Structure 1
Amino acid sequence: MLRNTRTIGRRPCSTKMKSSTDHHIRKSLENYGSWVDEAISGYYDSSSPDGAASTAASKNIVSERNRRKKLNERLFALRAVVPNISKMDKASIIKDAIDYIQELHDQERRIQAEILELESGKLKKGSGGYDFDQDLPAYLRSKKKRTDAFYDSGGSRISPIEVLELRITYMGEKTLVVSLTCSKRTDTMVKLCEVFESLKLKIITANITSFSGRLLKTVFIEADENEKENLKTKIETAIAALNDPQSPMSI
């Protein structure tokens, strides 16, 4: 009787230990499965540290690619407006552009000196003689000046603006670059300015330079790429109207 009692008393303890062990194994498996799920979701989810780092790297690559594209577009536009480019690499283009700007400053100073000299010469000439044009009515005086500007001393007709080349380039970011080369004649600079003012364009910046008896007018204009041909037609029409002695623009 005592032996049976002992045997029966041991069975509940063994069953309890087995139940506890099964519970721990089940819990461990659940925790392991949860950890695997988190690891997998973290690998594919951009909100995880690795996923966020990968997304940030991709954005940096795209940003760098766009930055290089814009830089190349600006270098292309710069190359289009600088007359003399020694080499096609970036450093040479920038150096040639700097030299060109310095040359423009020198030419500006020379032109200003010439203007002052001409003005002083006119004052001296005016003080020493009589101007017969002053006796003419205002309308006839303006008409005479307009006619004189279109004919040389031999009586041959000349145009204030003789276009040698007209190029329009799109440099991106809604910007068109107009490069107009023409012969250097009396009042050509002034007439070129009048042409572009009459078109009412959104001019960003403009400059003009003189070289070898020619003038180069460069104008940066705010406009879309599809406006290139229309803008070229407008400029050519305005120049033709100004070159016509009977046109109101030539007054």
Structure 2
Amino acid sequence: MEETQSPSSDYSPSLLTPTTTTVIPSDLQHRLQYLLNSRPEWWSYAIFWRASPDSSSPNRSPVLSWGDGHFRGAKSIKPHSTTTTNLLFGDLDDELDDPSEGSIDGSFTDVEWFYMVSLTRSFAHMDGSPGNAFASRSMAQQSGRAKARRGRKPGNNNGKATPINHVEAERQRREKLNHWFYALRAAVPNVSRMDKASLLSDAITYINQLKSRVEELEGDERREAKRVKREAEERASVNGGGGVDEEVEVEVEVRVMGGDAMVHVQSRNAGHPPAKLMGALRDMELHVQHASVSSVKELMLQDVVVRVPNNVDGNSLRAALLKRLY
């Protein structure tokens, strides 16, 4: 099995000595690249841990934190050399732009995740391999995977999460995000492309369409209620305020808009008109979306929004309601 080595914790005294007589670059990033490329064995990445005083420590002992790094990748996959910024943000841009790379199932390798979560790590005095090597001013070497298997269990690290636990937590988080994207893809009726960026854009468009539809129906309902109330008040005023016109029995108006129908019923406030209307709608197997009931003097005004099949027109629905209400 191929060994994945990092100069952050595994090196020997010969690592800092060039194998050939060459000019060593002066800046840190190029020195890390030179260190990776000058070794005969394959190293996946190099990390420089920078020492700085720990302000939270009473004696201000030094703490090691991320200084810089260079990632080359595992030898078993296509080699590529990249800086930390490109690894974190460049691949993400490709994932959003390229449908093949940015599909819902896309993910990074374990080595890439281990390298990226190292940006958040820090090592105190005698903490981990970097902390021990820095405190003893001596080199430490680790090779193969047996060392990792003999490491401490997560429950015995005094609350400090190891990098491999960070990688596993990140993998679980990405799996949960993938499940959410699958659910979102099932809820959105029209998906233009299968990448994440297009799916989110289509979902936002669909939600805005639903909000506009709801606002339109609510506006129609408010206008209809005002109109009915105004007509009822005018009719009561014409009758001298002494009561409701004796000829008024049941008036039904139906307006069909797409898959919804707005039903307005005006009748005397006697014999529980709302119960009769709900019973009629139940017998017709119409699903009620919204209902409002108001009483003006002796009149009962009812407005109901129901779901209707596509082949139903307003006249046939009104006739069926009148037949059940009388």
What TM-score does the superposition give when structure 1 sets the normalisation length?
0.38
More strand by proportion, 1 or 2? 2
Instruction: Give the TM-score of the pair, scaled to structure 2.
Output: 0.30
Q: Which structure is richer in relative contact order (CA contacts within 8 A, separation 6 or more)? A: 1
**Greater radius of gyration (CA):** 1
